[in-house]
Amino acid sequence: MDFFNALSTYSFLQNAVIAALLAALSCGISGTFVHINRITFIAGGIAHAVLGGVGAAVFFGFSPFAGAIVTALIFAVLLGVIRLKATQHEDTVIGAMWACGMSAGIIFIYLTPGYAVNLNNYLFGNILLVSKSDITALSVLAALVILVSALFFRQFKAVSFDEENAELHGVKSSLVYILMLSVIALTVVVLMKVVGLILVIAFMTLPAATSAIFQRKVGGIILLSIILSFVFSMSGLFVSYTWNLPTGAVITLVSGAVYAVSLLCSKLSH
Amino acid sequence: MDKPEVISFDKVSFFYGKNEILRDVTFSVKKEDFFAIIGPNGGGKTTILRLMLGFIKPTSGKITVFGEEPGRNFTKIASVPQFSSHDRLFPITVEEVVLQGLVKSTSFLPFYTKNEKAKAGDAMKKLGILDRANARFGDLSGGLKQRTLIARAIVSDPEILLLDEPVASVDSSVEKDIYEMLLDMNKKITIVMVSHDIGFVSSFVNKIGCVNKIFVEHASKDEMCCLEEHHAYSGKTTMIHHKCGI
């Protein structure tokens, strides 16, 4: 059965499309803020450290999804404080948290008795295993990302461009910055389901970086990123369904290829 | 008639860690002054601006802005930072930079209102950059970036404008244009600017202070050249003296 016939037949594929759409909405927004603030490393740190929370949740018998949300938010606040307060070696501290969070997760999962947890599902995601209840949870997270970013859109932009100017106008820059990282953290959790923690960084950087080549405003980059992320995910789904390849990796390579071509075209046209 | 005092420094000292940056600095800025603070790099000029803005607190002494502690006068005081501190690749247009002069902690609209856009339009018109409204900020020349940042500062109708080295990286014809524009604004707005270079400044301002840890105020421009006799700069006079051979 070809992809489009399968899409109208199988509910797991329909769920995958909805999940891809929710991921596109969240990462179009968050990825743009990651891009303009140049904080790929912080986003990557949150994404990898989340495995610690997932592992702990599995070990203590909670929902891994809830564990991911809580850990992502904790790391967003921690990394935000480090970024704002640290005078030196901020990257070392972030790198350490990145690696230690991940290691804690691996150990917790290893120690969990009986029930064999498939680590791969968290590391590489599996958009084809997204259930109806997952969709509900992802919708709530995506809605939060959109709502908070819409309400604080100006403050996010102002703090990203010129923290001191924002501060001078009464904006609490540190709080706004941490709120922005929290939005990014929630997006990490959404993306965990779709592409997995290891590939979160691809979704957080490539669509926004590609859009930034063609758009000169933050709002424009967000809109184009949303569209690109969705198109990348769909083409990834199509390729992986048709040739039976791992979805997250295919989506990432499609995004990377489009980014490289766009970059090349813009360099050649200048 | 004496104009009201808008900023006052009373025996202000500031230490950055163990380094003494400012010692017993006392001066006041009156309404509609055009006040220039001159001094060598590392002499404490920018520290004075940051103290006025409330970003840092004095180690000792008292600072007031409109009779209050600095940092509480969001709408009355505006600042023009050095443009080189901004990310050149940041995706933002000239108009949007200017609109950021209107950001507030409690504006929850993702889009700018017509009224706000009209204000930004006026500010850009005043600075002669209206035709560049949709240009990317990072692509502009130094002089145009400076004008954009001045437009951002005045869009909220401030009563005091602080400028950090407004002509640091523009050529001298642009420098003169910018000073003339500031002089025109000075009819309504009090201006405080810092510079490491005297250049044209002296012919535009009505008050000059020199800072290099300690602060000396000069009532008139002519007095500037007598700096060496002040011995205020104990050994560091050469630069100031040299530059003021106007």
Rounded CA separation B182/B185 (Å): 5
Q: What's the confidence (pLDDT) of residue A18?
A: 94
Q: Which of A124-138, B115-129, B159-173, B217-231 has the lowest mean pLDDT?
A: B217-231
Of A153, A166, A216, the CB nearest to B93: A216
Question: Once rounded to an integer, what is the mean pLDDT over residues B44-52?
Answer: 91
Interface subset of A 24-83, CB within 8 angstroms of B: 36, 38
Hey, are the CB atoms on A218 and B91 less than 8 Å from each other? yes
Residue pLDDT, tens place only, B72-82: 777 788 999 88
β pairing state of B207-212 and B214-218 = antiparallel
β pairing state of B77-80 and B160-164 = parallel
Of A154, A162, A168, the CB nearest to B86: A162
SS3 label, residue B19: strand
Quick check: A217 contacting B, CB < 8 Å? yes
The tokens for A71 are 């850990």
Task: Give me the CATH code for the B1-76+158-246 domain, please.
Answer: 3.40.50.300
Task: Print pLDDT tens along chain A (270 aa).
Answer: 788 888 888 888 899 999 999 999 999 999 999 999 999 998 999 999 999 999 999 899 888 889 999 999 999 999 888 888 876 677 888 889 899 999 999 899 888 876 666 777 888 888 888 889 889 999 999 999 999 999 999 999 999 999 888 988 889 999 999 999 999 999 999 998 888 888 889 999 999 999 999 998 999 999 999 999 999 999 988 988 889 888 888 888 999 999 999 999 998 887
Hey, are the CB atoms on A217 and B92 less than 8 Å from each other? yes
CATH code of residue A62: 1.10.3470.10
Range of the domain at A75: 3-269
Q: What's the confidence (pLDDT) of residue B220?
A: 56
Number of domains in chain A: 1
With beta carbons under 8 A apart, name residues in chain B contacting A221.
Answer: 91
Return the closest-CA partner of residue B55 out of A125, A166, A258, A142: A166
pTM for this model (two decimals): 0.87
Alpha-carbon gap: B108 to the closest alpha carbon of chain A (Å):
5
Of A38, A154, A168, the CB nearest to B79: A168
Domains of chain B: which residue ranges?
1-76+158-246, 87-157
With beta carbons under 8 A apart, name residues in chain A contacting B102.
Answer: 169
The residue assigned the tokens 């700018």 is B112
Specify the DSSP element, H or E, that contains B153: helix B142-154
In sequence order, which residues have a C-beta less than 8 Å from that of residue A249 and are 6 or more positions away?
Answer: A124, A199
Hey, are the CB atoms on B90 and A160 less than 8 Å from each other? yes
Quick check: A263 contacting B, CB < 8 Å? no
What confidence category does residue B228 fall into, taking pLDDT thresholds of 50, 70 and 90? very low
The residue assigned the tokens 């992809």 is A3
DSSP notation for A209-269: HHHHHH-SSHHHHHHHHHHHHHHHHHHHHHHHHHHT--HHHHHHHHHHHHHHHHHHHHHHH
E strands within B17-120?
19-30, 34-38, 60-65, 77-80
